[in-house]
Chain A
Amino acid sequence: MSAATAATDRELTISRALNEALREEMRRDPSVFLLGEEIGVWGAGGGIFGVTLNLIQEFGPERVRDTPISEEAIAGVACGAAVTGMRPVAEIMYVDFTALAMDPIVNQAAKLRYMFGGKARVPMVLRAQEGAGRGNAAQHSQSLEAWFTHVPGSKVAVPSTPCDAKGLLKTAIRDDNPVIFLEHKALYGTRGVVPEEEYLVPFGSARIAREGEHVTFVGIHTLVHRALAAADRLQSEGVSMEVIDPRTLVPLDIETIVRSVRKTRRLVIGHEAVERSGFAAEIAMQVMDRAFDYLDAPIRRVCGRNVPIPYNLGLERLAIPQEEDIITAVREVVRGAV
């Protein structure tokens, strides 16, 4: 970080950026309130990752509600509050625990508006964090974004930078539909520039994290950061990689991805979630539909192995895609062309 940082160029962690988003939206709109496990008092007073830090001090326990360990109640109550005029932001401590809350998420919140013929709004955000990398093992490390993209009626956001995390969360809170907002546990401490002034990041607008010519990489969460590191190394081999972060999976900005593939003619897709039935397959198929004739190589996936996440750090590292895996896949798709 340079010594001469302008006021608009300050750096924040993702935790702090999310905290700002919650604080600003709660100040702006009295119908916004938070509920979840250990979000008010635990630790320094901001949940296990500090996202809700000090919010209970400013907004009080009525609007920052520590709940019992009752995930189905958290999601169901959020749905009921949303349909009757509030804007709840519910937190499920680990995305793995949404398995305990699937009826309200899948059968109620996502479907109410459609089932009611458009005569209801369900403006709720369900925050959770996913991902591996901390030795948290099989029940605390999954990446389950594809579960939620498979249910029409809710949106799915997957920020990977502090700037996007803040702007997307503010957009999520203002959205009149259920938003599943998935953070990554290993990225909370990631720092990045966050504008001082008010801003929103729209849904359905991918971010080109790095421009390149020879291959397009589409990834979410940690795979964005690993791809950027891989891109530096590949550059030294003469391979120029474009890196795209979709930022939201529903809605998906397929146009930006397709435009990039038409330019680079090669596509590699990555996520930590297990490869089988993962969102990479969805992106690959959509690109096949729209840009098959432009492809000069088969689309490759760099995804999690089809196993539960093991506890041992060495095994965990093997289960989720690393920078090396991206480089290997990219070398294969550009072989003979660069």
Chain B
Amino acid sequence: MEACAVGACSALRPDDYITATHRGHGHCIAKGGRLALMMSELLGKATGYCKGKGRSMQIADVDAGILGANGIVGGGIGIATGAALSARLRGAGQVCVCFFGDGGFNQGALYECANLAAIWKLPVIYLCENNKYAMSTPVASATAVADLTARAAAFGMPGINVDGMDAIAMREAVFEAAERGRRGFGPSLVVADTYRYEGHNVGDGQRYRSRDEVDQWRASDPIGRFAEACHRAGLVTEDDTNRIGAEVVTELHAAVEFAHASPEPTADLATLEDDLFA
């Protein structure tokens, strides 16, 4: 699923906004989130993005335009639409990419907000990462239309299917949708065809799908495909991508180390009740 977040966010300006899904770590990293602060938040440490009060599903960095992952499936749809309205009212030329999955796709908030965005021509990109399962529920048993972009016509906005395992295709699709938003032509629906290799959570026995199916998707892994494309284009050598891979691993280790070494939040009432009101 990395291509969705990386491709989409690479098409954005630093001051653009995103709202992430229930599974938002990748979006956060792709939009400029800092690994150490994220890892600290995962461990509930005081140095985390949210001082240990948020959890992995609420990691946010408003200054970097990351308006939060969301513990509520589809919970970012209203916020993203509001950020787009805000951008429009301030004349800032920003857009907002609203990530959600094939699960969030069936929340009523999308119906209300997509309609609102379309009548007001708001610069928002509704980006559905169709990874085929909402927890264990297959998309085909939860959504009556096979082609999810069919709903775009009903919302009154363009809808486009993209290979969500191809970072470059994602970048191009989102760049075009963002340009459309910036020029005042309104929202778009982008449906990314992608897949989650691992279980929904640690305890997921994955009885709803076959090993073969997972392996088939792994064969078109977006990281390998992107590296190959870069090699073919002569942009980088295999040595370069190996080195970058090693650097990423080092950076991840450093983040984990930072998080482990970080203090727990002070367990007192002042800390508990702080940050409630501005």
Interface residues, chain A, CB within 8 Å of chain B? 31, 33, 62-63, 65, 67-68, 70, 72-73, 75-86, 88, 103-104, 107-108, 112-123, 152-153, 155, 176-177
Contact = CB atoms under 8 A, between A and B. Distances in A.
Contacts of A177: 277-278
Contacts of B24: none
B86 A85 contact: yes
A114 B53 CA distance: 7
Contact of B115 (A68, A81, A155): A68
B86 A80 contact: yes
B72 A103 contact: yes
Nearest to B88: A62
B56 to A, nearest CB: 11
B274 A33 contact: no
Given A73-B78, A82-B82, A104-B78, A116 B89 contact: no
Contact of B50 (A72, A78, A107, A116): A116
B60 interface: yes
Nearest to A65: B120
B67 interface: yes
24 contacts: A31-B89, A63-B89, A67-B116, A70-B113, A72-B108, A75-B78, A76-B113, A77-B85, A77-B113, A79-B78, A80-B67, A84-B67, A85-B86, A88-B82, A104-B79, A107-B72, A108-B70, A112-B60, A113-B275, A116-B49, A116-B58, A117-B48, A118-B275, A155-B277
A77 B78 contact: yes
Interface in B70-128: 70-72, 75, 77-87, 89-90, 96, 108-109, 112-113, 115-116, 119-120
B230 interface: no
A116 B60 contact: yes
Given A72-B112, A84-B67, A117 B81 contact: no
Interface of B: 17, 19, 48-55, 58, 60-63, 67-68, 70-72, 75, 77-87, 89-90, 96, 108-109, 112-113, 115-116, 119-120, 274-278
Contacts of A84: 17, 62, 67, 82-83, 86-87
Nearest to B82: A80
Given A84-B17, A103-B109, A112-B60, 11 more contacts: A68-B119, A70-B116, A73-B113, A80-B80, A80-B84, A81-B85, A85-B90, A115-B54, A115-B58, A117-B48, A153-B277
Nearest to A85: B86
Contacts of A115: 50, 53-55, 58, 60, 68
B201 to A, nearest CB: 20
B82 A78 contact: yes
A83 B116 CA distance: 19
Contacts of B113: 70, 72-73, 76-77
Contacts of A120: 60, 62
Contacts of B115: 68, 70, 73
Given A72-B108, A76-B82, A84-B67, A121 B278 contact: yes
A203 to B, nearest CB: 10
Given A83-B67, A113-B278, A117-B51, A108 B79 contact: yes
B269 to A, nearest CB: 14
Contacts of B90: 31, 85-86
Nearest to A67: B116
B198 to A, nearest CB: 25
Contact of A73 (B19, B68, B116, B278): B116
Nearest to B72: A107
A180 to B, nearest CB: 14
Contact of A81 (B82, B119, B276): B82
Contact of A79 (B63, B82, B89): B82
B78 A83 contact: no
A118 B278 CA distance: 7
Nearest to A123: B278
Given A73-B113, A114-B276, A103 B75 contact: yes
The 8 closest A-B pairs by CB, nearest first: A76-B78, A80-B82, A118-B275, A117-B51, A176-B278, A73-B112, A117-B50, A70-B112
Contacts of A113: 275-278
Contacts of A33: 89
Contact of B81 (A63, A77, A116): A77
A119 B60 contact: yes
Q: Count chain A CB atoms within 10 A of each CB in B78, B90, B120, B276 and give the residue with the most.
A: B78
Nearest to B70: A108
A73 B109 contact: yes
A23 to B, nearest CB: 18
Q: Count chain B CB atoms within 10 A of each CB in A63, A104, A153, A177 and give the residue with the most.
A: A104
A176 B276 CA distance: 11
B112 A80 contact: no
Contacts of A107: 71-72, 75
A268 B260 CA distance: 55
Given A81-B89, A104-B78, A117-B54, A68 B112 contact: yes
Contacts of B19: 80
A83 B83 contact: yes
B189 to A, nearest CB: 16
A108 B89 contact: no
